[in-house]
Chains A and B, each alone.
Chain A
């Protein structure tokens, strides 16, 4: 199976990446190279196999459990430190382009 230029445009939009035309072409060719080795997985019989999302799930005697901690503030307020690397901040708020007219 091969991806098409339309697939690349569609995924680039989903992934919020602006690709230049020559970049699109190279992306298509490299991703299709990769899908050349992916096809072998479709031939594997996985009937009855439970998907493994996480390694802890494979450790004998271990199981994934969602841990809960008390619902209390555990981190100090570091707003200034958290915002010092932000591209645009005003009065302690992150600035973004206007979303609602």
Chain B
């Protein structure tokens, strides 16, 4: 048997069900790897809780009542609330917070038998593209520790890449699953908006936030996504009332005749040569597997940046008003009255980027600016969604880079947040439209840093995306590549 930490979710599930290894043995092995907190990935670990869950898994396996992913470890991005672990969303304002309940996604994965290893570092309230906005310190990229892992699900991506967990949850508002997956050389998928319940996912931008799995392969992501999704109509008003789906069912389909749309706006001057070389090679592989490349256009790609950075902060300014020092988390020590308590509490509790987005959001929603900015952004959002529907008349899936470059150096954009915003250009359009999108590793760029290819599907076409990625991964080995020393 392969070393436990090198096994995939599918392999671990099989080994556990056939009793080649116990859930306690698996949990113990992964807890040992997380010791010393490599890359600053974990924000909370509690081995007693993890081992108790693993023991319960072993009991169910012995009793023949095991779930589909019984005993397989997973770690959760710290924006999912958990009853048995602290939840901070990477923010000081939630330091020490204990939720009275588990997020639906956490609950569903637990229901499939998965054992929680702990909570993973992320940008504060999922606002960031480099994981440098966490109040608990930056995460380093396992491929090169002078580089960022991407964000906001940077802890999730780094933990999977460093084999500290076989799987992690992430959330994607403007690219926060796809971009770190790309930068860390792993596979991640953001499903159609509304597929996975947002109940218990600390809200950043409610019309964009969506949960998804991050693992090493499309096969693993399909297993995880099948367990995560499904209607939650009583608890999430935006949950799609669409039956849960077996996303593994179509993995084996042939790519013959598949029409892959290539948006010309994703291959312009801004795309780094090393990334372009890796993407072009992957497209050739897909062509060799029977796919046809079709030129398409997504003419408002560049507009997605200002549109997203108006809409998301507007929603954030409203969502984050709940952090006021009354019901949970931090409260300032010195204040004169209620308003001063609010202002000082929020000033002390929020980091700089979160404050900036709250301020931007409050501004674009304020009297006199609402029509010019917020409403105008919502109108262009519709035009962007319509552009995709026109494109999908010509193709079945869309492919291109996840990001214009490979992972940049830690601290590189510290004084220039706008540079991080601009780097989100290729992930934002699908987010605004609410379409499913994923990243799969397709090679390496400068300094042997991973490059991810983005696949975008029409609404509810996750199975198709996973099928394309799986077929590619059957013919390539980039998803099995490991950082040095792992």
Contact surface of A with B, Cβ cutoff 8 Å: 3, 7-8, 11-12, 14-19, 23, 26-27, 30-31, 33-34, 36-38, 40-42, 44, 46, 49-56, 58-60, 62, 66-67, 69, 74, 78, 81-82, 84-88, 94, 96-99
Contact = CB atoms under 8 A, between A and B. Distances in A.
Contacts of B295: none
B342 A16 contact: yes
Contact of B376 (A37, A42, A99): A42
Given A31-B363, A37-B305, A86 B327 contact: yes
B359 interface: yes
Nearest to B344: A18
Nearest to B419: A33
Contacts of A26: 352
A77 B440 CA distance: 44
A54 B306 contact: no
Q: Which 7 pairs between the two chains have the least Cβ-Cβ distance?
A: A55-B434, A51-B378, A81-B100, A87-B331, A52-B382, A58-B385, A46-B379
Contacts of B330: 87
B358 interface: yes
A81 B84 CA distance: 12
A58 B350 contact: no
Nearest to A3: B363
A50 B379 contact: yes
A37 B307 CA distance: 10
A86 B328 contact: yes
B223 interface: no
Nearest to A50: B382
B459 A17 contact: no
Contacts of B234: 69, 74
A55 B194 contact: yes
A17 to B, nearest CB: 5
Most B CB within 10 A of own CB, among A8, A18, A33, A62? A18
B331 A88 contact: yes
A97 B238 contact: no
B476 interface: no
Contacts of A8: 359
